[in-house]
Structure 1
Amino acid sequence: MTVREVAATTGISKSSVYHIITEILQKRKIAARWVPHFLSPEQKATRQDICRELLSRYENQGETFLDRIIAIDETWIRDFEPEIKSQSNIWAGKNSPRAKKVRRQQTKVKQMMIFAYD
């Protein structure tokens, strides 16, 4: 809720509501931290296993292992209307962690992009 909404609901002035929230309740506005997407515990475990395997191969084969890697990434680039940062602000305590929010809101407009690098 905004200070204006709280003031309208309670009948208290905006400055009084702001003082109560910030000084007495020790709250401040923080924005959610943008993350590209959320991973399930299984997806995180799979990524961890792959990283361990690659590290093991690097330790055994050295720089020659890195010379043989070609990475290809294929992704859909979508047109989206992101929420501006101030729209995701919430009142929170001094030590409150930031909320996480997925950045993109998918729409029907998209393009396939393929990247290859070594």
Structure 2
Amino acid sequence: MHFSFYIKRKMDLVHMIKQYGRTSLQDEPRSGRPNTANNDWNTARVDELIKVDRRVKLKEISLKLDILKTNFYEIVHDKLGYRKVSARWVPKMLSDEHKRQRVEISQILLHRCQQEGDETVDVGPGGDHHVRNKLLEHLITGDETWLHLSTPKTKRDSMTWKHPSSHVTKKFKV
């Protein structure tokens, strides 16, 4: 923290004490209607909306439920224990079955190349001889790529609400 910022804050505090005669930083009792947004019914509504769409933004829910953002923040963080997190980037994640299938198919193709000897000789420009394997020439490989209906553009867009008991989300690299 910068020293000048600290002094400014301290001077504001001294000014507040002199001007209003306050010696406590606690809220004083005041007239008016008490805060009723922070009740069990609103808490259940907020929890349901977050469970339906984990990417929903704080402002959207507060507008939909007509709850002030400060009350909403208290419900989401303090009462429900949610926090906004980004998915963790991990390399392609294959199940054991997928790995087994890949090894099996690769062994079959390798065995076929060794047994059949499907090679031809091409004469390239300049009279160079190149040995090619026709089987490998026609082989197309790839991996499983997940395509989502809605692809977030930024890290912030991909952030989701996470409850302490929910699992860690992973985002696979494409």
CA distance in 2, matches of 1:95, 1:30: 14
CA distance in 1, matches of 2:69, 2:90: 33
Q: 2:87 aligns with which of 32, 40, 48?
A: 32
Specify the SS of the correspondent of 1:98. Answer: coil
Is the Cα–Cα contact under 8 Å of residues 152 and 158 in structure 2 kept in the other structure? no
The gaps in structure 2 that reach 5 residues or longer are: 1-55, 105-141, 143-150
Q: Which residue of 1 aligns with 2:159?
A: 89
Is the Cα–Cα contact under 8 Å of residues 32 and 88 in structure 1 kept in the other structure? yes
Q: Which one has a bigger Cα radius of gyration?
A: 2
Q: Which residue of 1 aligns with 2:69?
A: 14
The letter of the residue matching 1:85 is K
Deviation of 1:40 (Å): 3.6
**Structure with bigger RCO (C-alpha 8 Å, 6+ apart):** 1
The gaps in structure 1 that reach 5 residues or longer are: 50-74, 76-80, 105-118
Deviation of 1:47 (Å): 7.6
Specify the SS of the correspondent of 2:83. Answer: strand
Q: 1:90 to 1:32 in 2, by over 3 A?
A: same
Alignment of 1:50-65 (within 5 A): none
Query: How high is the TM-score relative to the length of structure 1?
Result: 0.50
Greater share of strand: 1
Aligned residues: 74
Q: Which residue of 1 aligns with 2:173?
A: 103
Q: 1:48 to 1:18 in 2, by over 3 A?
A: farther
CA distance in 1, matches of 2:152, 2:58: 24
Is the Cα–Cα contact under 8 Å of residues 31 and 98 in structure 1 kept in the other structure? no
State the Cα RMSD in Å: 2.9
CA offsets, 1:17-45, max 9 Å, x none?
A: 11100000011111111123231432234
